Amino acid sequence: MLAIALAALACDTVVWPQSATAEIPAITSRQRAEKKTFTDSQIVDGFLKTAFGAEYHLAGRVDRIRKYQTPVRVFADGNRSDRKAQLTRIVADIARRVQHLDIAMAATGEAANVLVKLVRDRDVGRTIIKFYGRERAREIRGSLDPQCLSGFRKNEKFEIEHSDVILTVDKGDFIFLDCAYEELLQSLGPINDTESVPWTMFNDNVSMGFFGIYDQYILNLLYDPRVRAGMTVAEVKEVLPAVLADVRVWVKKVNNLAE
């Protein structure tokens, strides 16, 4: 069985991620104000809300964990060398902050299982049609009105086999970087947006532009080996206490957080 889940982002005010360029006052102030301390229940709540379900899905069940069980290789398809360089830095940042995720850039599209299509804003619509067909593209645009989009294909074991990410390159640096972080991360599994969690970029009302502490918890929980593709909510809840204890140690270490 093949299924596709989709997520989209309508970007507005965003800031430049520290990890993708030199220090800039806008991102420094945003990171200074970032909430970095969370209770177990706050982390688990956000994880369950984003790792299960889908903002928009075309087929298949969405009540199971979906993730890559293989190394993730990302290829950027487009003509903008500056955007490719920014994406390369974003992928390296994600690799550094998610302990059990093997992710890196690929030299060719054939060697990749995540294809990032870099397009002009005026070409977003026709690119969605090319990827999903005219009828489904109409449904996607009617439901999401995306400036950028991500989707993945999973097998009958709920293992993600391939992801597609569409990013606009000509809406400014801030929008590109904010979209790139969110859509690339969502293409790895946590594809459900939620407006009830204020600390995650997987909330259409939140623009961050960097890989925040809260979302690092979500991705590290998802890619811990004890959380497997195909797990139900009940099965995940059984292992989460032990997984979260280890994830807390890692997130604290990689971000140099105080006690």
Q: Determine the pLDDT at residue 196.
A: 84
Contacts of 35 (CB under 8 A, 6+ apart): 199, 213, 214
Residues lower than pLDDT 50 in the chain? 1-4, 8-22, 55-59
Q: Determine the pLDDT at residue 221.
A: 98
Q: What DSSP character marks residue 20?
A: G
Distance separating alpha carbons of residues 150 and 245, to the nearest angstrom: 30
In this predicted model, what pLDDT tens digit does every residue of 169-214 receive, in sequence order?
Answer: 887 778 888 889 999 999 999 988 777 888 988 887 777 788 999 9
Cα–chain center distance at 177: 12
Q: Is 219 exposed, middle or buried (0-12, 13-18, 19+ CB in 10 A)?
A: buried
Q: Determine the pLDDT at residue 141.
A: 60
